[in-house]
Amino acid sequence: MASSSRQANLGRIGEIVQVAVRHGFGYLLDERRGRGGDEEWVTSRGRHLREMLDELGPTFVKFGQLLSTRPDVMPPDMIAELRQLQDAVTPFGYPEIERVIREELGQPIERLFLEFDPEPLAAASIGQVHRAVLPNGRKVVVKVQRPDAPARIESDLSLMRQLAGFVKERVKALEFIDVGEIVDEFARSIRQELDYRQEARNADAFCRNFAGNKHVVVPRTYWSYTRERVLTLEYLEGVQLRDIELDAWSMDQRRELAYIVAEAWLTMIFRHGFFHGDPHPANILVLAPDTIGLVDFGLCGKLTDADMSKLTALFIDAASENIEALPKRLADLGVVYPREREAELVARKAAAIAANPEIANITKEIQVERGKKVFLTSCFACHMADGKGLPNVFPPLAGSDFLKADKDRAVRVVTKGLSGPITVNGKPFNNLMPPQQFSDEQIADVLTYVLNSWGNDFGTVSVADVKRVHSQN
């Protein structure tokens, strides 16, 4: 048996080598050859990599999808191509579906369901999804695992570990990355997906988290029809986000839908600390112009309070264009870049200022816009952490005493908030916001925008208003 397994692995390795050579990666096998200076190759390498992974099969396709989320490992041109990988394969036959369901649920399909569509809605590397109707008339989707999925995935993971060692030795550009750790990360995630009970628990958690949210629907789990290799969920009637007819949507409708999707994921990250880890357009259903449904909960992630604090800091620095801080923020989150790329980020900004000295003297308009973004972003981050809900993308602290303040108090609080830490209702308000220096005129412009964008009818805040408040402190 061991000899047969080794023979199969050797055959698979031979196949991988042939596919790699056919798609232009043969130079990795010959130390005397190189493609670094080949301009045509550099422009097409992402497409070749995508086509190679696609040809190698479902496990490698899923690995490519993981790599598409790692800009710290892959260059932008390759990421753009890998994002096009589709986890779709030929469906397996109805007799195998019947066998898996009988083995897992202990009954034949005809006794378990009033209806069961033999044609799958979708077929992927681990399983496929069928529409069905329960005895009580409820419409459901049933995900059934491929009979050979665990054995095939373990075999491919074993080969990936061998290939990781080879890449580590041959691809000098990835010396700063532990390629083996990336394969191990992939192995952990795909093994989790093999147990559909874990996906069911994830779906239940999302149901609880979004209970009462009128814009986000999560399907209910039917546990009596769920086991390790069979998952039964409520059927959601909708259109995949990638398939909506944009011509039929007005710009306002498109904007509202984008806000709803963004709000859903920001809520997962900053409030729940538990997020959907595979948010591609096929996993988001549009149920109505103002309602989305989430599906496919096999890959999810959890964030600690420390993780959320680090993400909030990154979010604020990105919005406030605090470029120098970004490499450290990313490193705090475990994102590793080559040292030269970190230095390049800061050096490019310094070079731009050196070449154009006027950039150093940021115009009033630019600095005012930056102040608006910094302050609103800080409001947003505090609001999410406070757990009060998110009525829009950059909401005020809805319902707080701050909004009921008179004009002078609002000027005083916001002015202090632009230059240092403050608290509102005993809560840290902008503790992660970098201090900003603004003139009285700039502060007046920022205040006019911020306060009136929150619906306070204060009118224009003048320089005299700011000076009067300062004189009272």
Residue 378 and residue 462: Cα distance in Å, rounded?
23
Whether residue 333 contacts residue 314, with contact meaning beta carbons closer than 8 Å, is answered with yes
Point out the catalytic residue in the list 278, 296, 317, 465: 278
Exposure class string for 204-234: b at 16+ Cβ within 10 A, else e: ebbbebbeebebbbbbebbeebbbebbbbbb
Q: Give the number of other Cβ atoms within 10 Å of residue 294's Cβ.
A: 22
225 with 200: CB under 8 angstroms?
no
In 10 A of CB 317, how many CB atoms?
22
- Mark whether 445 is an active-site residue: no
In degrees to the nearest 10, what's the CA dihedral of 280, 286, 292, 296?
A: -40
Could you say which DSSP state residue 270 is in? I
Answer for the pair 168, 177: CB distance below 8 angstroms, yes or no. no
Which residue, among 420, 419, 360, 425, has the nearest Cα to 388 in the 3D structure? 425
H or E segment to which residue 412 belongs: helix 407-419
Rounded to the nearest 5 percent, the helix, strand and coil shares of the chain are 60, 10, 30
> Within its chain, how far is the Cα of 364 from the centroid?
35
Q: Which residue has the tokens 């809560």?
A: 427
Q: Is the Cβ–Cβ distance between 299 and 312 less than 8 Å?
A: no
Report the DSSP beta bridge partners of residue 286: 239, 292
Q: What is the DSSP string of 58-74?
A: HHHHHHHHHHTT-TTTS
What's the CA dihedral at 52, 53, 56, 62 to 10 degrees?
-170
* Of 280, 197, 186, nearest in space to 232 by CA: 197
Alpha carbons 44 and 81: distance in angstroms, whole number: 10
CB 438 within 8 A of CB 418: yes
93 three-class SS: coil
| Token output for 449 | 């925008």
Cα angle vertex 426, ends 422, 430, to 5°?
A: 30
Q: Which residues are catalytic?
A: 278
